[in-house]
């Protein structure tokens, strides 16, 4: 789609807006490298893109936005980078939670949260408590998250509850995931051009439409989200049927 083909705000009424958008926010490091900047600067600029995406989702009427912020594999990165990311998240919560609450946005952090620093866990619990009754947009931050880890934890929960094997079905598994009660993503967006799902929501994206852009995450803006929604709107979803 060329720039001239990207729909304007006045045209969104003709588009089918996804109820749930999930985003793999990729390319922070490459963005910084291209500019001969430290990788942490890419993460800092990436947080600006997330704020823009949240605003755009509210404007377009998206009800659920799920973003891949920090994976279980990311713990293997250099200690300095991991520490910066934890501090960036902490400061972002401090800076943004009032505005999120004011705009009726509910925030949840999903993943192996117990692996995070205790002070960050406290801030997470506080932010979730403050915004729990909001319903304009549900913002899900996948943190210390991995799709295989999520499925492993779900199965452990099922076994712990002594569920009989013949009663296990898809609904039970879905209800045992971190995302219990959240509809599966209609649209999965990946930035930076990589053609893989990187252990993200492996159960939930079974029938998600996928849209990949070469745009690096720090450069991702409302016009790109609108382009993805426009592309999604033109697809026919069959869910395995005819």
> Residue 12: pLDDT above 80?
no
Q: Are 129 and 108 in contact (CB under 8 A)?
A: no
Which member of 14, 26, 140, 231 is catalytic?
Answer: 26
pLDDT above 90: percentage of residues in the chain: 91
For residue 183, give Cα distances in angstroms to 19, 91, 129, 189, 195: 8, 29, 21, 16, 24
Greater confidence (225 vs 10) lies with 225
Whether 119 has a pLDDT exceeding 80, the answer reads: yes
74: annotated active-site residue:
yes
Higher pLDDT, 209 or 239: 209
pLDDT score, position 1: 41
The model carries a pTM of 0.93
- Domain assignments of the chain as residue spans, ordered by start: 16-146+185-233
What local confidence, expressed as pLDDT, does residue 11 receive? 54
CA dihedral 58, 97, 126, 118 (to 10 degrees): 110
For residue range 188-206, list pLDDT tens digits in order.
999 999 999 999 999 999 9
Tell me, what DSSP letter sits at residue 87?
H
pLDDT(6) > 70: no
Q: What is the CATH topology of the domain spanning 16-146+185-233? A: Undecaprenyl pyrophosphate synthetase (3.40.1180)
Q: Is 184 a catalytic residue?
A: no
Q: Per-residue pLDDT for 3 more than 70?
A: no
Q: Which of 74, 101, 103, 199 is catalytic?
A: 74
């Amino acid at each position: 789609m060329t720039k001239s083909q990207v729909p304007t705000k006045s045209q969104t009424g003709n588009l089918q807006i996804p109820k749930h958008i999930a985003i793999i926010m990729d390319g922070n490091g490459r963005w910084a490298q291209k500019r001969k900047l430290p990788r942490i600067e890419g993460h800092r600029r990436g947080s600006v893109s997330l704020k823009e995406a949240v605003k755009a989702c509210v404007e377009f009427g998206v009800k659920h936005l799920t973003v891949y912020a920090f994976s279980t594999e990311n713990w293997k990165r250099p200690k300095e980078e991991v520490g910066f990311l934890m501090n960036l998240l902490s400061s972002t919560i401090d800076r943004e939670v009032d505005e999120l609450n004011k705009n009726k946005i509910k925030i949840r952090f999903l993943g192996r949260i117990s692996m995070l620093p205790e002070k960050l866990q406290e801030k997470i619990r506080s932010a979730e408590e403050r915004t729990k009754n909001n319903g304009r947009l549900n913002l899900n931050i996948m943190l210390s998250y991995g799709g295989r880890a999520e499925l492993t934890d779900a199965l452990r929960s099922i076994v712990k509850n002594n569920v009989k094997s013949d009663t296990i079905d898809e609904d039970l598994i879905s209800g045992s995931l971190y995302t219990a009660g959240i509809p599966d993503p209609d649209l999965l967006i990946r930035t930076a051009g990589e053609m893989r799902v990187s252990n993200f929501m492996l159960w939930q994206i079974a029938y998600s439409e996928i849209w990949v852009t070469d745009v690096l995450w720090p450069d991702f803006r409302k016009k790109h989200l609108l382009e993805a929604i426009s592309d999604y709107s033109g697809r026919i979803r069959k869910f395995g049927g005819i």
